[in-house]
Structure 1
């Protein structure tokens, strides 16, 4: 691989800036200063930038984050901070959320740079279940369990939602399991039965449960990663 391409990829900067840094003698390969971006880099060679070794990112990465309110599930946003604020990893901008949460929704977000893996979570054909803790404005009634199980007609949607499991905890709190990812689906489902969601927290995706404090993240275990490869 060309040295300038390697540096641009691993530092997350443009080739133009890379070439300036090379000319400034900030890059060494196996201890030797290299000023040409066309230098052909071998896999076993050690690259240092400004005195720090660059570790090639070769394997896919998988993390869970317990998202607080006020952060968006994207790499860039002009108006709000993004979830990458919490991720202290090389090239966090290469990661994406496998199923986003709204700005004011908290809880489990799965982050990866493996597009095929995230597709197994987000694609409707895989029926990946997500479990939410819901707080509502008006008291919940027992008849809602059957209504949610039968599917709900959302505004401006052609088809009913897929059967959803509603477990009523008390008058104002419930656990809802869905297997779709329609736009603002949980909030719209409760709006369709004349209620309003005042707080929403995702606690589980598939077999993965959020088990870390709000605002923290951790790598997924191999078993957690593999749980979606079996879908």
Structure 2
């Protein structure tokens, strides 16, 4: 990799600032000052900027316990972006794996690996998403059967994929879906004449939200979790 690109990939330097740092003699490779951005950095080389060793960040995989009031979209909004909750370098490279709406809490995955994201959210691979929904009214007696048969959402011409509904309490239900339509969980309960007053995502595929994470906290996924999510539901629908 060219040295100027290495500097941008491993620090907050822009391309122009990297050129300036090189020209001032602030960059060393294996202890020797290098001023050429075209210099090729090879595996095992030690690159330093003013004595601080730089390393390529690499791909990152993060789970966040999203609080209410934060927006997953990168567009301008009146709400704070979830990325503001992360204390990591190069946040602008990261994206959420799917979205949770502003009022929904719980598990959100964040990464800079586009292929990994696609593997999880692709409709061809029916990856489970598990939500805990607090309801305004008690569940109807036939709710399980109606969710299992698929729900026709307002404005749609096809029913949803079969979903699994588990009664937790009279007004509390756990729902497993394999799609990610706009406000899908809320719209599914609305189609049954009910209203979701609180919604929390507990799990994506085989990975559950870490019980030790408080709202707003995050941690890196383990290699096993990253691999499990990439391989979940490996047979396309």
TM (normalized to structure 1)? Answer: 0.88
Equivalent position of 2:83 in the other structure: 84
Which deviations, in whole Å up to 9, do the C-alpha atoms of 1:9-44 show, x marking residues without a partner? Answer: 222553123223333444332333333323332232
Matched, 1:127 2:126: yes
CA distance in structure 2 between the aligned counterparts of 1:184 and 1:51, rounded to whole angstroms = 50
Equivalent position of 1:225 in the other structure: 226
CA 1:142 to 1:77, structure 2 compared with 1: closer, same or farther past 3 Å?
A: same
List runs of 5+ in structure 1 lacking aligned partners.
none
CA 1:103 to 1:13, structure 2 compared with 1: closer, same or farther past 3 Å?
A: farther
Q: Matches of residues 189-228 of structure 1 in structure 2 within 5 Å?
A: 189-211=188-210, 212-228=213-229
CA 1:8 to 1:74, structure 2 compared with 1: closer, same or farther past 3 Å?
A: farther
Deviation of 1:115 after TM superposition, in Å, equals 2.2
Equivalent position of 1:147 in the other structure: 146
**Residue pair 1:62, 1:113 contacting (<8 A) in 2 also:** yes
Equivalent position of 1:4 in the other structure: 4
CA 1:50 to 1:183, structure 2 compared with 1: closer, same or farther past 3 Å?
A: farther
**Residue pair 2:64, 2:106 contacting (<8 A) in 1 also:** yes
CA distance in structure 1 between the aligned counterparts of 2:41 and 2:83, rounded to whole angstroms = 30
Matched, 1:28 2:23: no
Deviation of 1:181 after TM superposition, in Å, equals 0.8
Equivalent position of 2:71 in the other structure: 72
Structure 1 residue ranges, 4+ long, deviating more than 4 angstroms after superposition:
74-78
Which deviations, in whole Å up to 9, do the C-alpha atoms of 1:99-153 show, x marking residues without a partner? Answer: 2111221101122222222222101111101110111222322222211111111
List runs of 5+ in structure 2 lacking aligned partners.
none
Equivalent position of 2:15 in the other structure: 15
**Residue pair 2:85, 2:216 contacting (<8 A) in 1 also:** yes
Which deviations, in whole Å up to 9, do the C-alpha atoms of 1:154-196 show, x marking residues without a partner? Answer: 1222211011111122232111110111111111112222222
**Residue pair 1:141, 1:171 contacting (<8 A) in 2 also:** no
CA distance in structure 2 between the aligned counterparts of 1:4 and 1:74, rounded to whole angstroms = 31
**Residue pair 1:139, 1:171 contacting (<8 A) in 2 also:** yes
CA distance in structure 2 between the aligned counterparts of 1:43 and 1:79, rounded to whole angstroms = 45
**Residue pair 2:130, 2:174 contacting (<8 A) in 1 also:** yes
CA 1:16 to 1:80, structure 2 compared with 1: closer, same or farther past 3 Å?
A: farther
**Residue pair 2:63, 2:110 contacting (<8 A) in 1 also:** yes
Aligned length: 230
CA distance in structure 2 between the aligned counterparts of 1:187 and 1:12, rounded to whole angstroms = 41
**Residue pair 1:75, 1:83 contacting (<8 A) in 2 also:** no
Greater CA deviation, 184-193 or 78-87? 78-87
Equivalent position of 1:53 in the other structure: 53
